[in-house]
A and B are shown apart, each in its own frame.
Chain A
């Protein structure tokens, strides 16, 4: 059974940093691209980033590019999202999602998701 478990969320002040983790199990983690998707309170889902199966290539939404960095440790079956220069508008539940392919360019959908971790940016 595929499982994704996010952690690392919490309350952080504007301008601060936070690192989220997503532990994957039940599939060969290194052979799939992974994404982060977020949902601000009362809003819809917003794609944030994608990372290839090897971790060598990443892409980001315009709203986070230059502030967020996605990485992965395939030896630990874990995906990370380093978030810097956080803003109030980054407040959201962050989900990790498994891509449908190892290559981000071939990802057509996200077939498994975690339950999310809440990030609150507030002073």
Chain B
């Protein structure tokens, strides 16, 4: 499986909104709506932010939202805060008991 495609970096100012996209093929997404997003501060454990395309685990602020259209999934972060600066990875169940991740997007809060 090839990695899902993410832009390498995105930036925004505090209070603004940013959208991180994740593009694959129909086989990458496996025809399932099992897209998840992870926040990773280097040196720390990755953290689940969104699952099943748009569901938020308890404790994740509602500033984080997810969506999917066709073969592109998106993570939107509104009201940017300094602590949101991190790497973000999308992930999808790709069928045949395998999972595929995106290459990651580095979010910089200016």
A-side residues, CB < 8 A to B, are: 4, 35, 37, 43-47, 50, 59, 61-62, 95, 97, 100, 104-105, 107-116
Contacts and interface: CB of A to CB of B under 8 A. Distances in A.
Contact of B101 (A37, A111, A112): A37
A28 B27 CA distance: 33
Contacts of A100: 51
B100 interface: yes
B75 interface: no
A43 to B, nearest CB: 7
Contacts of B45: 4, 95, 112-116
B101 A45 contact: yes
Residue of A44, A59, A105 most packed against chain B (CB within 10 A)? A44
Contact of A61 (B44, B46, B98): B98
Interface residues of B, number: 27
A108 B93 contact: yes
Contacts of A110: 36, 38, 48, 91
A50 B97 contact: yes
B103 A111 contact: no
B100 A108 contact: no
Which 5 pairs between the two chains have the least Cβ-Cβ distance?
Answer: A109-B36, A44-B103, A109-B51, A45-B101, A59-B97
B69 to A, nearest CB: 19
B109 interface: no
B91 A44 contact: no
A47 B103 contact: no
B31 interface: no
Contacts of B3: 44, 46
Interface in B60-81: none
A108 B52 contact: yes
Interface string B23-35: 0000000001010
